[in-house]
């Protein structure tokens, strides 16, 4: 009888070994696929913030618009985002449908995804410099801030150049 059992035991061992190897291969595949994010190349994926504008140049002598329109675009995984805006000069305005009422938000504000308008304002009279004929560069900075955690995953900086009374957004 021991001779008859030996071939049976060998066959059982082979089956168990084959099943174990298949299970092991399945677990390895499962573990390897768990790291996939669905992105083609995760190393090249970067959270970023960009802005767009339909009117990249503006002058206070134009009566049809109130400034340079700036719309933020965030791509990333932070979920619900608010935008923290800062301008070294000028002010941010809301001027949108339905009533197109102008609301001055100042040069440091937090908004949702709506379009803002940047507009020139006279310099502080305490500086004594209200000359409108010079050239200057104005910096607009924007931070995408997670509404849930308060974390700032990404920041951007943009330039408005002034030549006399014309202001142009240089790197939208």
Q: Which residues contact 72 (CB under 8 A, 6 or more apart)?
A: 49, 50, 51, 83, 113, 142, 144
Give pairs for 100-108: CB < 8 Å, separation 24+. Answer: 102/66
Give 121-160 pLDDT, tens digit per residue. Answer: 875 434 434 455 555 899 999 999 888 888 888 899 999 9
Over range 17-23, report the average pLDDT. Answer: 75
At 42 the pLDDT is: 43
Give 78-137 pLDDT, tens digit per residue. Answer: 778 899 999 999 999 999 888 889 999 999 999 988 899 999 887 543 443 445 555 589
Q: Which residues contact 106 (CB under 8 A, 6 or more apart)?
A: 91, 92
- pLDDT of 34 above 90: no
Split at pLDDT 50, 70, 90, the class of 41 is: very low
Top-level CATH class of 48-169? mainly beta
């Amino acid at each position: 009888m021991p001779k008859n059992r030996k071939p049976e035991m060998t066959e059982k061992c082979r089956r168990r070994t084959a099943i174990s190897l298949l299970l092991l291969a399945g677990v390895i595949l499962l573990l390897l696929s768990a790291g996939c994010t669905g992105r083609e190349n995760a190393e090249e994926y970067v959270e970023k913030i960009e802005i767009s504008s339909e009117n990249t140049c503006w002058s206070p002598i134009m009566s049809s618009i109130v400034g340079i329109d700036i719309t933020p675009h965030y791509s990333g995984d932070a979920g619900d985002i608010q935008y923290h805006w800062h301008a070294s000069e000028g002010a941010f305005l809301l001027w949108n449908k339905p009533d197109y009422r102008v609301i001055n938000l100042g040069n440091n504000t937090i908004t949702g995804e709506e379009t803002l308008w940047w507009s020139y304002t006279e310099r502080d009279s305490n500086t004594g410099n209200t000359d409108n004929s010079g050239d200057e560069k104005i910096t607009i900075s924007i931070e995408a801030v997670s509404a849930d955690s308060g974390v700032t995953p990404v920041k951007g900086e943009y330039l408005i150049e002034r030549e006399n009374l014309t202001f142009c957004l240089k790197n939208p």
